[in-house]
A and B are shown apart, each in its own frame.
Chain A
Amino acid sequence: MTAPAIANAALDDATAVAAYPAQEPVRATRDSRPLRLITCGSVDDGKSTLIGRLLWDTKAVKEDQAATLQRDSNGKQNDLGLPDFALLLDGLQAEREQGITIDVAYRYFSTDKRSFIVADTPGHEQYTRNMATGASTADLAVLLVDARVGLLEQTRRHATIATLMGIRQFVLAVNKIDLTNYDRARFEQISHEFKELALSLGVRQVTAIPVSALKGENVVYDGRASMPWYDGPTLIEVLELATTRSAQTVGFRLPVQRVSRPGESFRGYQGTVAGGSVKPGDSVVILPSGMVANVTKIVTFDLVRNAAVAGDAVTLVLDRQVDVSRGDVIAAIDSQPMTGLAFDAQLVALQPEGIQPGKRYWLKSGSRRQRVQVQPASQLDLKTGKWNHADELPMNAIGKVHLVFDEQAIFDAYEQNRTTGAFILIDPDTNNTVAGGMITAKRAALGGIHAEESRVILSLPADLADQLMATELFAGRREDVEIRRVTAGKAAEIIDTIDG
């Protein structure tokens, strides 16, 4: 069927490739990628109880764990005779003592249709950093609201952070609906309010569900007996049908993690493909040096492969001796990331000291770590949704900032690539992670601090950009012009940002 002993032979021969299927076989449902979700919302909205209920009703709680749970919730059983589900999640002693969630707990469960990784994130404002941690990798956010209380500032904060981090699917779980006597009008009012908020954030996919996590209504089992007026899906039905984030983006990117030199005859560049795809024969550019080379081999432990796609951890071999080291980015020659000394970004401040203007932080993006100065520009007012001018950003603030580098930085816009568009800031005094950020645009100049770049940036609709890039004329002007793909509606906004 496939050629035997191909791996060893192929390492010697750049032209030989193993019969590795370029396309993955059709997946069986149970083998699809797990859906990663977060639950968020304010304190006491019942997040831990909801996940406990999900675990309980999907039979993810084993007998010995249930026995421990019964023992630990001694005296705390609710009037349904069920154990305190929150104890399944709040595994830390301090959490149990205080009855709150401090840190993210990751839990795994599955149904016949799909498997799930759920990050139960804290509701307290002081632990927003842990909510951001959960949101950065999630495909979908379940926002809880207490039906009696309605939307709170914390609900808005979480919805905003989730949106900034690229989550485009929301479930609004209007919890404790049993405590409102299953009040339909109340449910509809909260759903309406939340949908307006979501729309203002640019999210169109919202499913609102009236839920009693405690009683298990509309979680895994439907709540028709109590809420005949609700004919929508249960929470688990929504989760089973949700889509995972696609790692596939335009333009091949490989942030180089390591150079592999096991012997004189082999030099490979190891890293995880962060966008697009690559195959032997492709021309690539190494950034920031700008040197060009061709890919000769894609080496993995099992096989020399004929293609690598986003998400694959591989080793690339190039056709010539070029200087490549950790932190460099190997990219498609015809669709390069932005390079420059100044960028605009949005970020979430995660530590008590906030973000200090002018302070020099470490910035890590991909495998690249470099010094950066951060100039706050504005802060989002969570009550009004407006961006107000700001000179510094306190803890938990969501802000827009300018980043100024000492040496070339390499980025994509976060909207176009979640890996090469994301970064963390590390405080050099404490070594702590103080912010998570997302690149929005390159800045041509910043107050004369740095020499202005001579490159012209064109933001064009994706189809037009593709056409232009395909032309011969353009291929020779790579140094002078940078073309960025945008969706039609976004063009105006991005140009504004560049000018602003």
Chain B
Amino acid sequence: MPHNHPETELHNPQSTKPPLDPHLKALENEAIHIFREVAAEFERPVMLYSIGKDSSVLLHLARKAFYPGRVPFPLLHVDTGWKFQEMIAFRDEMVEKYDLDLVVHTNPRGAKENVTPFSHGSALYTDIMKTEALRQALDAGRYDAAFGGARRDEEASRAKERIYSFRTPDHRWDPRNQRPELWNLYNGMIRKGESVRAFPLSNWTEVDIWRYIQAEEIPIVPLYFAKKRPIVERDGMMILAEDPRLELLPGEMKREEVIRFRTLGCFPLTGAIRSSATTLDAIISELETATVSERQGRAIDRDQSGSMEKKKREGYF
């Protein structure tokens, strides 16, 4: 059945909104251009959806790129089983609200062997439940292009990513032999089994993301806003203590603090920050004076220098 006529499609005319400033507008145009290019050049694109703020921006841009049509590819959520509960609820709400196709994949081996961040440590857990799971899901869907929300300002090896990042049939990234990428002319030619990861947000910074969320009124998971929440302190991080699977270790105490999250991953591996920022304005001004980087709260980056690159070579996003 053909989709709704565009004329009758639910759409919020946001005509009272001021136009985007030229900087955000340029970033938006670039991202839309990339979305359209990938959708036109590849047979089976998919968009990685991790439910975080970058994913929310990515989704919004995808909707813009293909309007008045609907998003012409599915969203893929690699669910480790250890996401924040609020994230899953938010995901399902978005899928419903925007009429999206969602594919959820969890590594069956991990589920069977009961791989958890506690029993296996963050590195092995991430390898099995994220990297391996992602490779399984991409193979199962025979996807030849996968959109991701990675930004070059996040981490040193991400700063080296192309916008079209070429992957071998076993999903490997060779950072020493990337295709040259000139102007906005992206080379999408691949052989069967090979794929490309496409990063429409490459040139965005963390502050750009927040300013765009504000300007475009993009819905995000409420965990980004400060609120009194139960936490325990572990390995120098404040971990959200609302999931019954989180067992307190000897000496640990659950307590309430006004916190928020600057980045969202698996709850046992994501540290909260003390903050009273309950609005986007407050978040942005907090960021502009922040003295630590965004990924400071992510345990998986800390294992060793270069650990992100290693994970990426093996197929992590």
Query: A: which residues have CB within 8 A of B?
Result: 1-8, 11-12, 18-21, 24-25, 27-28, 31-34, 62-65, 68, 71-72, 88-94, 96, 102-108, 115, 117, 129-130, 132-133, 136-137, 257-258, 260-266, 268, 270-272, 299-303, 311-313, 315, 326, 350, 362, 364-365, 367, 418-419, 422-424, 426, 431-433, 436
B97: min CB distance to chain A, Å: 15
> Are A4 and B13 within 8 A (Cβ)?
yes
> Are A431 and B23 within 8 A (Cβ)?
no
A268 to B65, CA, bound (A): 12
Q: Could you say which residues of chain A place their CB within 8 Å of the CB of B314?
A: none
> Are B7 and A265 within 8 A (Cβ)?
yes
Q: Could you say which residues of chain B place their CB within 8 Å of the CB of A71?
A: 305
Q: B291's closest neighbor in chain A, by CB?
A: A63
B285 at the interface (CB under 8 A from A): no
Q: Could you say which residues of chain A place their CB within 8 Å of the CB of B257?
A: none
> Are B155 and A91 within 8 A (Cβ)?
yes
Known A7-B11, A32-B22, A94-B176: A426·B187 in contact at CB below 8 Å: yes
A347: min CB distance to chain B, Å: 10
Known A94-B176, A104-B160, A263-B2: A367·B152 in contact at CB below 8 Å: no
A133 to B160, CA, bound (A): 12
> Are A132 and B180 within 8 A (Cβ)?
yes
Q: Could you say which residues of chain B place their CB within 8 Å of the CB of A313?
A: 28-29, 32-33, 36, 65
A-B contact pairs, 12 of them (CB 8 A): A88-B156, A91-B157, A105-B152, A300-B64, A311-B26, A313-B29, A313-B33, A313-B36, A424-B182, A424-B183, A431-B190, A436-B183
Known A72-B305, A106-B202, A129-B180: A20·B22 in contact at CB below 8 Å: no
A114 to B61, CA, bound (A): 25
B176: min CB distance to chain A, Å: 6
> Are A33 and B19 within 8 A (Cβ)?
no
Q: A271's closest neighbor in chain B, by CB?
A: B36
B5, B14, B68, B205: most-surrounded residue (chain A CB, <10 A) = B68
Q: When the two chains form the complex, which single residue of B14, B29, B70 contacts A262, counting CB atoms closer than 8 Å?
A: B70
Q: When the two chains form the complex, which single residue of B21, B33, B180 contacts A27, counting CB atoms closer than 8 Å?
A: B21
B314: min CB distance to chain A, Å: 13
Q: 8 Å CB contacts to A: which residues of B1-47? A: 2-7, 11, 13-19, 21-23, 25-26, 28-29, 32-33, 36-37, 39-40
> Are A423 and B185 within 8 A (Cβ)?
yes
> Are B182 and A136 within 8 A (Cβ)?
yes
Q: 8 Å CB contacts to A: which residues of B162-179? A: 175-176, 178-179
> Are B16 and A260 within 8 A (Cβ)?
no
B274: min CB distance to chain A, Å: 15
A92 to B158, CA, bound (A): 9
> Are B203 and A364 within 8 A (Cβ)?
no
> Are B7 and A8 within 8 A (Cβ)?
yes
B144 at the interface (CB under 8 A from A): no
The A-B contact count (CB < 8 A) is 222
> Are B13 and A5 within 8 A (Cβ)?
yes
Q: B64's closest neighbor in chain A, by CB?
A: A301
> Are A33 and B17 within 8 A (Cβ)?
no
Q: When the two chains form the complex, which single residue of A1, A7, A63, A419 contacts B292, counting CB atoms closer than 8 Å?
A: A63
> Are B40 and A258 within 8 A (Cβ)?
yes
A312 to B22, CA, bound (A): 11
Known A33-B22, A263-B5, A367-B37: A433·B187 in contact at CB below 8 Å: yes
Q: When the two chains form the complex, which single residue of B40, B191, B292 contacts A257, counting CB atoms closer than 8 Å?
A: B40
> Are A65 and B22 within 8 A (Cβ)?
no
A436 to B18, CA, bound (A): 39
Q: Mark B199-240, 1 if CB is under 8 A from A, else 0.
A: 000110100000000000000000000000000000000000
> Are B178 and A103 within 8 A (Cβ)?
yes
> Are B153 and A302 within 8 A (Cβ)?
no
Q: B21's closest neighbor in chain A, by CB?
A: A31
Q: Could you say which residues of chain B place their CB within 8 Å of the CB of A94?
A: 175-176
> Are B23 and A33 within 8 A (Cβ)?
yes
Q: A262's closest neighbor in chain B, by CB?
A: B69
A12, A137, A257, A264: most-surrounded residue (chain B CB, <10 A) = A257
> Are B13 and A7 within 8 A (Cβ)?
yes
B121: min CB distance to chain A, Å: 20
B3: min CB distance to chain A, Å: 5
> Are A422 and B183 within 8 A (Cβ)?
yes
Q: Mark B276-314, 1 if CB is under 8 A from A, else 0.
A: 000000000000001111001000000001100110000
Q: Could you say which residues of chain A place their CB within 8 Å of the CB of B14?
A: 302-303
Known A6-B15, A263-B5: A64·B293 in contact at CB below 8 Å: yes
Q: Could you say which residues of chain B place their CB within 8 Å of the CB of A27?
A: 21-22
Known A32-B22, A62-B290, A262-B69: A312·B36 in contact at CB below 8 Å: no
Q: When the two chains form the complex, which single residue of A96, A261, A303 contacts B306, counting CB atoms closer than 8 Å?
A: A96
Q: When the two chains form the complex, which single residue of A1, A115, A299, A350 contacts B23, counting CB atoms closer than 8 Å?
A: A115
Q: Could you say which residues of chain A place their CB within 8 Å of the CB of B67?
A: 299-301, 315
A92 to B155, CA, bound (A): 11
Q: Could you say which residues of chain A place their CB within 8 Å of the CB of B202?
A: 106
